[in-house]
């Protein structure tokens, strides 16, 4: 009887030992493939137009994305310093950095003043803006005053102002070098441009990027999950490396905005897969 008990104890110890070894040797999760890149993956706040900040942050956490371009529907421009501090604390608790504000539309000098003051209070040094053309000299003045980068968001064929990267370049090339563009590769493509070529051509003025895919190179093209459209993402990733882009590639997912979550997961996963496959 004693021998049986001893054998049972030994057997239990062996099994326990094997389980412990197996657990100790179980491989952990690999780091995201973009970790070794100069650029970062982020989210454009506009993606979460129909959702509150908590839902946005929970989604980013599940997607392992840590950079957010802040939209004013999540943090109103009239927020108090206390509200801004609470907002930043919530981001920090979720491992997210708010790296920029915008896009912010500007139709007067007062709008520009408010945007720069807002960015300073939020604690970022990049504004994604859409000023009227005639206000660009005033933007130049404010950039010199604050020392911030100002990235003009381009809109493709849907809006006459800043339809593509070439138009932004032509309007900012003689201004302060801290005035550049948010290269929205989807809108640029829908205006008949080659977004990869434009990244190379205008690299000195590309301060932010909105990542999305589209179905065509005209106004009829529409936004969809990354990898399902006409944009050459392997070529884009190679160009990001070639030009040494150090900003954020923020997914702006505009399909099914009432239920974007599967599209976000697919798009982030595809983009990361391309980064890994092109190393």
CA distance 199 to 47: 23
Band of residue 29 on the pLDDT scale cut at 50, 70, 90:
confident
Query: What would the DSSP string read from start to end of 17-29?
Result: HHHHHHHHH---P
As a whole number, mean pLDDT of residues 124-132 equals 98
CA distance 84 to 264: 27
Across the chain, where does the E strand assignment appear? 40-44, 67-70, 97-106, 126-131, 149-153, 179-184, 206-211, 213-214, 223-224, 248-251
Predicted local confidence at residue 10, as pLDDT? 38
Band of residue 14 on the pLDDT scale cut at 50, 70, 90:
very low
pLDDT above 90 for 17: no
Token couple for 99: 């790296």
102 within 8 A of 128, measured Cβ to Cβ: yes
Predicted local confidence at residue 31, as pLDDT? 86
pLDDT above 70 for 12: no
Alpha-carbon separation of residue 33 from 15, 269, 272 (angstroms)? 37, 10, 6
Predicted local confidence at residue 158, as pLDDT? 93
Out of 43-47, 156-160, 176-180, 236-240, which region has the weakest mean confidence (pLDDT)?
156-160
Domain 31-277 has CATH 3.50.50.60: no
Predicted local confidence at residue 146, as pLDDT? 98
Band of residue 23 on the pLDDT scale cut at 50, 70, 90:
low
- Residue at token pair 């506009």: 46
Cis peptide before 186 (omega within 30 of 0): no
Q: In the chain, what percentage of residues exceed pLDDT 90?
A: 88
- Residue at token pair 């529907």: 73
Predicted local confidence at residue 53, as pLDDT? 98
Band of residue 27 on the pLDDT scale cut at 50, 70, 90:
confident
44: closest CA among 60, 55, 58, 32? 60
* Neighbouring C-beta atoms of residue 194, cutoff 10 Å: 17
Band of residue 26 on the pLDDT scale cut at 50, 70, 90:
confident
Tell me the pLDDT tens digit for each residue of 75-108. 999 999 999 999 999 999 999 999 999 999 999 9
* Neighbouring C-beta atoms of residue 3, cutoff 10 Å: 7
**Which pairs with CB-CB distance under 8 Å and at least 24 residues apart come from 160-167?**
161/130, 161/132, 161/133, 162/130, 163/187, 163/191, 164/188, 164/191, 164/192, 164/193, 164/198, 165/193, 165/195, 165/198, 165/201, 165/202, 166/193, 166/198, 166/202
Band of residue 25 on the pLDDT scale cut at 50, 70, 90:
confident
As a whole number, mean pLDDT of residues 5-20 equals 43
Query: What would the DSSP string read from start to end of 185-228?
Result: HHHHHHTT--HHHHHHHTGGGEEEEEE-EES-SSTT--EE-TTS
241: closest CA among 274, 194, 193, 192? 274
């Amino acid at each position: 009887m004693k021998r049986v008990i001893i054998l049972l104890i030994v057997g239990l110890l062996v099994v326990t030992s094997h389980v412990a070894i197996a657990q100790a040797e179980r491989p952990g999760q690999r780091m995201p493939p973009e970790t070794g890149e100069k650029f970062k993956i982020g989210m454009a706040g506009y993606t979460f137009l129909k959702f509150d900040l908590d839902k946005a942050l929970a989604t980013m956490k599940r997607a392992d994305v840590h950079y957010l371009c802040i939209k004013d529907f999540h943090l109103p421009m009239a927020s108090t310093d206390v509200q801004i501090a609470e907002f930043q604390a919530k981001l920090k608790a979720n491992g997210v950095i708010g790296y920029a504000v915008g896009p912010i539309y500007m139709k007067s000098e007062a709008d520009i003043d408010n945007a720069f003051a807002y960015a300073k209070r939020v604690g970022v040094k990049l504004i994604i803006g859409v000023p009227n053309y005639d206000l660009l000299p005033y933007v130049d003045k404010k950039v010199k005053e604050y020392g911030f980068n100002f990235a003009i968001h381009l809109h493709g064929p849907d809006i006459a102002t800043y339809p593509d990267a070439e138009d932004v370049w032509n309007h900012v090339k003689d201004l302060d070098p801290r005035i550049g563009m948010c290269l929205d590769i989807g809108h640029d493509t829908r205006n008949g441009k080659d977004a990869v070529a434009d990244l190379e051509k205008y690299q000195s003025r590309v301060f932010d990027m909105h990542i999305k895919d589209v179905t065509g190179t005209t106004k009829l093209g529409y936004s969809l999950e990354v990898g399902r459209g006409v944009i050459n993402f392997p070529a884009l990733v190679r160009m990001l490396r070639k030009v040494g882009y150090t900003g954020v590639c923020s997914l702006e997912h505009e399909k099914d905005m009432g239920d974007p979550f599967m599209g976000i997961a697919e798009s982030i996963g595809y983009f990361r897969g391309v980064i890994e496959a092109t190393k």
